[in-house]
Amino acid sequence: MGNSPLQSIRLFSKLVTLSHSIFALPFACIGFCLGIKHAPATFSVYKLLLMVSCMITARSAAMAFNRYIDRKWDGLNPRTKTRELPSGKLSAGSALGITIGCSILFIACACAINTTCFYLAPVALAIILGYSYTKRFTALCHIILGLGLSLAPIGAYLSLTGIFHWTPLLFSALVLFWVSGFDILYALQDEAFDRSFHLHSIPVLLGSHKAITLSRILHVCAALLVFVIYQLADFNLFYILGSICFVALLIWQHRIISIHARERINAVFALTNGFASLLYGILTCIDILFNYLP
């Protein structure tokens, strides 16, 4: 295609929107820190690198596959027609190749971590890759996306301990409500297009007003879980600060997004949710490591 190596890297990075890793990676770090707390003898930099590699390869596979599967709709949608595949900057074969390569690397990294992660890796792949098809038949696609990202905390915890625990599961539930809520808001941009082409989403099913209301309900549930986690897991000051930042950014997000301000959604989506995840993740990890490690 005549692209230089640097141009190809930039195009591949845009294809998988690598910057959006900021949504799930901080929660994976929370799960990993919880694993250090519960099983400190198992910590190693090697496992940390493998966990991060699993996160990056799984997400890259999911995004590349989503772009590959949706390339027809992306080419018809004015909002997305300049993306790498419909614009011809990258070929469909390249996206499929990234999907297959990253999927193999993800399973290999999971195998190198422990047998529990290896056995569960195909299940995780089925969820995050299967999400790309859901918009064709169900408005619950936002919930499936939330479920896919919610695997981050428990997956990272399993990478150290190899066993399940209720604390990272609570963080996974928090991610499920949070991501499902903001993805409904993101889908407002394509409500008219999706309805025209018989694609499914909550805005198409319920209309804009009710979709925004449902998003708010999901984010109230996420905020309540932040409080429940504090009460049950005995966190301290840094967690409180992270929680305040997280909930405040959720509130701010809903204040500036309205039916008449959809042009703001892209900026709000990346800015508020990225900072919410980053601040909450960093401060929670600090709280765990400073207050619980012997």
Q: Which amino acid is at 243?
A: S
Its pTM stands at: 0.92
Residue pLDDT, tens place only, 67-113: 999 999 999 999 889 888 888 888 899 989 999 999 999 999 999 99
| Residue 16, pLDDT score | 61
Number of domains within the chain = 1
User: Is the pLDDT score of 259 beyond 60?
Assistant: no
Q: Which tokens go with 185?
A: 């808001």
Q: Write down the H helix ranges in 188-207.
A: 191-196, 202-206
Contact 54, 106 (CB under 8 A): yes
User: Is the pLDDT score of 274 beyond 70?
Assistant: yes
Question: Does residue 3 form part of some domain?
Answer: no
Q: How far apart are CA 132 and CA 65, in angstroms?
A: 7
Q: What is the mean pLDDT of the chain?
A: 89
Residue 124, number of CB atoms within 10 A of its CB: 20
Contact 246, 230 (CB under 8 A): no
Question: Does residue 74 form part of some domain?
Answer: yes
User: Is the pLDDT score of 243 beyond 80?
Assistant: yes
Q: Which tokens go with 39?
A: 């099983």
- Residue range(s) defining the domain that contains residue 119: 9-292
Question: Does residue 4 form part of some domain?
Answer: no
Residue pLDDT, tens place only, 9-51: 676 776 666 666 778 899 999 999 999 988 877 788 999 999 9
User: Is the pLDDT score of 7 beyond 70?
Assistant: no
How sure is the predictor about 1, in pLDDT bands with cuts at 50, 70 and 90?
A: very low
Question: Does residue 159 form part of some domain?
Answer: yes
What H or E segment, with its residue span, contains residue 68? helix 45-69
Q: Write down the H helix ranges in 188-263.
A: 191-196, 202-206, 208-233, 237-256
Per the model's pLDDT, the better-predicted residue between 115 and 267 turns out to be 115
Percent pLDDT > 70 in the chain is 89
Question: Does residue 28 form part of some domain?
Answer: yes
Q: CATH number, domain at 153?
A: 1.10.357.140
Question: Does residue 2 form part of some domain?
Answer: no
Question: Does residue 89 form part of some domain?
Answer: yes
| Angle, in degrees to the nearest 10, between helices 141-161 and 25-38 | 30
Q: How far apart are CA 169 and CA 120, in angstroms?
A: 15
Residue pLDDT, tens place only, 189-201: 999 999 999 999 9
Question: Does residue 18 form part of some domain?
Answer: yes
